[in-house]
A and B are shown apart, each in its own frame.
Chain A
Amino acid sequence: MATTQTHIRTQWDTLHRNGPFPIKQHLVTRLESNALMPSKFDRYNDAATEIRRLISDSQLQQHGFRPFGSRWSMSSIAHQKDRVHQNNLMHLDLPILPADLHAQTGYKAENLFFFQCGNTVREISQVLEAHGKSLKASGASNGQTIAGCISTGVHGSAWQEGAVQDYIVGLNLIIGPKPEDVVYLERHNKPALSDAFAAKIQARVIRNDNLFHAALVGLGSFGFIHGVVIEAEDRFLLHRYVRKIDKTMAEQLAVTMDFINSQFKITEEIDAQGNPLLPYHFKIFINPYTNDNQYVVEAMYKKTPYHTNYPDPLAGIEKSLYRDLIYLLIKISEKFPNSIPWFIKRLEKEILPEVDPAEEKIIGTLYEIFWDAPYQGPAFACSVGVDHKDSIKALNLLTKMTREEGPVPGIFAMRFVRQSTATLAFTRFPITCVIEIDGIIWKGTNNLISLESYGRRMVEVLKNNQIKFTSHWGKNLAWDFPGLIPYMYGDKAKQWKNYRNSLLSDEMAKLFSNDFLDITGLSLKEANIPPNLIVSLPSDSP
């Protein structure tokens, strides 16, 4: 049987030390050994029984219950004041055979993979590689668990592919303590797996597009995500280039995303007519404290079919700054904020990717290019999503505010992501430009704006200038800013709440809530929820 260790603790923290946060219990579930239970399906179902038991126990004790994976979120989204559940040791993958497909599916069995919640992007990529497959997109690194990725909307800069949740085609949730609380959700218009497969994971099937889209970015609050079905694709290679280009050209690309007619041309990445190819990935780095007329940009081009004949893309040696030096710089910055721009300029070489000599490139798979994150110390990241057409206006406002009211120890970047179908995806614009500032966490002083105030000012500046925006759910922001979620999501927030409160009982909605949900107002139940929101629909329904 799967077992759970209960650690009585008073504090819990994120990977990047954005807390600590108070807790009562830290639970860790381990699966039964495969020597005693050889069938993967048996071990998976046995784990579901254990999770139901934990939910039941939490309910009896009137405790909240919240799963977490790798703790990479920097906001308090993964925290629960009563019980947090660590699920990174729940990392099975289940086989999907052609016979498991739904009769009306458009998916190929060879591209569908079932992963348990605690699989990290790295583990998933290794399984996929063994089948000659790849994820379609990932974040900038590979340590997040798949359940954590989709719950918060982890993204890269694959502006034609979307974020991680956008290639999930099925969700297995545990929404309560009873056997019938194990549910399998998928789209009714794009079904993937048969009822017989759902029976193998002892799940009740609900095919309903709107419910699926609401649960997809569920903020950890739509029940326990036990497993997901991913649509992968044939393994491909990325050609990665880092260049310095004119600021005006970078800005124009951000606003238009028109690579074909731009002057941004990499000699090897052109078509037969000499026009630039569309990059798979495009990212712009901005040091807000310099007035350079050039920006560093990173562009990647997708190449199929995959071949093995390319140099090892992984750097043999990776250097990082002395941790004590980082702490020293932060301490100096807190006392003498005016030194921050000077430090950042000096450290540019360490912070920004190295600009390649003229024609050099790095070749690798998605998994190899977006490798382990080297720095895991205290860090902050604020990350807002805007329509790419508003991106330069928003960037200018935010960098101006950072210079005038900061400085803060961080550097800006812009990434671009295709629109998601998930109800609360923060990548909700036709092409979302994610404007992010990343850096080392600091303490506010009389001379230096605090992270909390900085996050609040970001919201105010964008709102006061009538820019529609969202924010990565796992990043730092003034999440308690009045009216923030309605401003960001309008009726979509109501829709999300209605589907959540239809799927979960009142008791379970409370159990799967946390402070983050409370301060954002998303734990509140709407009056007059329409009936029949969560019925399973046939595939020919509108």
Chain B
Amino acid sequence: MPPIDMDRDDWYRDKWVIEIDTVIKAGALIDEITFKVGSEACESGKLFSVEYKDTFGGNLLYLVTFGSRRKVKLLYVCMKPDE
């Protein structure tokens, strides 16, 4: 896996991990938000696992902004590209 990603200290160590930790502007009328796994981030386009973390702060942000700010914390583990 890309060596720069190999210094984590958790279960994801040595895995091809894409970490998304951001706040998205949504708007009160937006129902679903889709995250696409781009080929630059995950060359094989195949996911081994996805971890989603729901936090109290994230829920609070959602509430106080009436859904227009949504905190997203995702970890994708990408499969090796086919050779």
Tell me if B30 counts as interface (CB < 8 A to partner A).
no
Residues of A within 8 Å of B2, CB to CB, are 28
Nearest CB in chain B: distance from A83 CB, A: 13
Nearest CB in chain A: distance from B73 CB, A: 18
Residues of A within 8 Å of B81, CB to CB, are 89
Tell me if A365 counts as interface (CB < 8 A to partner B).
no
Tell me if B56 counts as interface (CB < 8 A to partner A).
no
A81-97 residues with Cβ-Cβ distance < 8 A to B are: 86, 88-92
The 8 Å CB contact of A9, one of B3, B10, B80, B82, is B3
CA distance A177 to B13 in the complex (A): 33
Tell me if A377 counts as interface (CB < 8 A to partner B).
yes
CA distance A71 to B14 in the complex (A): 9
Residues of B within 8 Å of A446, CB to CB, are none
- Asked if residues A7 and B14 are in contact (CB atoms below 8 Å), the reply is no
- Asked if residues A86 and B83 are in contact (CB atoms below 8 Å), the reply is no
The 8 Å CB contact of B11, one of A26, A43, A376, is A376
Nearest CB in chain B: distance from A63 CB, A: 17
Tell me if B31 counts as interface (CB < 8 A to partner A).
no
CA distance A374 to B9 in the complex (A): 13
The 8 Å CB contact of B14, one of A26, A28, A70, is A70
- Asked if residues A43 and B83 are in contact (CB atoms below 8 Å), the reply is yes
CA distance A15 to B13 in the complex (A): 8
Q: Which residue of B lies closest to A93 (CB)?
A: B83
Tell me if A31 counts as interface (CB < 8 A to partner B).
yes
CA distance A442 to B23 in the complex (A): 39
Residues of A within 8 Å of B4, CB to CB, are 7
Number of interface residues of B (CB under 8 A): 14
CA distance A89 to B79 in the complex (A): 11
Residues of A within 8 Å of B83, CB to CB, are 31, 34, 43, 89-92, 116
Tell me if A349 counts as interface (CB < 8 A to partner B).
no
Residues of A within 8 Å of B14, CB to CB, are 15, 70-71, 143, 376
A396-454 residues with Cβ-Cβ distance < 8 A to B are: none
Nearest CB in chain B: distance from A88 CB, A: 7
Tell me if A307 counts as interface (CB < 8 A to partner B).
no
- Asked if residues B9 and A323 are in contact (CB atoms below 8 Å), the reply is yes
Q: Which residue of A lies closest to B81 (CB)?
A: A89
CA distance A31 to B3 in the complex (A): 17
> Using an 8 Å CB-CB cutoff, how does the interface string of B1-43 with A read, 1 for contact, 0 for none?
1111001011101100000000000000000000000000000
Nearest CB in chain A: distance from B27 CB, A: 37
- Asked if residues B82 and A26 are in contact (CB atoms below 8 Å), the reply is no
Nearest CB in chain B: distance from A107 CB, A: 26
Residues of B within 8 Å of A90, CB to CB, are 83
Q: Which residue of A lies closest to B83 (CB)?
A: A31
Residues of B within 8 Å of A89, CB to CB, are 1, 80-81, 83
Residues of A within 8 Å of B11, CB to CB, are 374, 376
Residues of A within 8 Å of B13, CB to CB, are 15, 376-377
Residues of B within 8 Å of A17, CB to CB, are 9
- Asked if residues A323 and B3 are in contact (CB atoms below 8 Å), the reply is no
Q: Which residue of A lies closest to B7 (CB)?
A: A13
Residues of B within 8 Å of A143, CB to CB, are 14
CA distance A86 to B5 in the complex (A): 13
Q: Which residue of A lies closest to B82 (CB)?
A: A34
- Asked if residues B10 and A28 are in contact (CB atoms below 8 Å), the reply is no
Q: Which of B2, B11, B83: most chain A Cβ within 10 A?
A: B83
Q: Which residue of A lies closest to B14 (CB)?
A: A15
The 8 Å CB contact of B9, one of A9, A71, A377, is A377
Nearest CB in chain A: distance from B15 CB, A: 9
Nearest CB in chain B: distance from A396 CB, A: 36
Given contact pairs A15-B13, A374-B11, A376-B11, A7 touches B3 in the complex (Cβ within 8 A): yes
Residues of A within 8 Å of B1, CB to CB, are 88-89
CA distance A15 to B81 in the complex (A): 21
A25-40 residues with Cβ-Cβ distance < 8 A to B are: 26, 28, 31, 34
Besides A7-B4, A91-B80, 18 other A-B contacts (C-beta < 8 A): A7-B3, A15-B14, A26-B3, A28-B2, A28-B3, A31-B83, A34-B82, A70-B14, A71-B14, A88-B1, A89-B1, A89-B80, A90-B83, A116-B83, A143-B14, A323-B10, A376-B13, A376-B14
Top 9 A-B residue pairs of the complex, sorted by shortest distance between their CB atoms: A31-B83, A376-B13, A26-B3, A92-B83, A7-B3, A91-B83, A15-B14, A376-B11, A28-B3
Please name 8 pairs of A and B residues whose Cβ atoms are closer than 8 Å in the assembled complex, sorted by A.
A7-B4, A15-B14, A26-B3, A31-B83, A70-B14, A323-B10, A377-B10, A377-B13
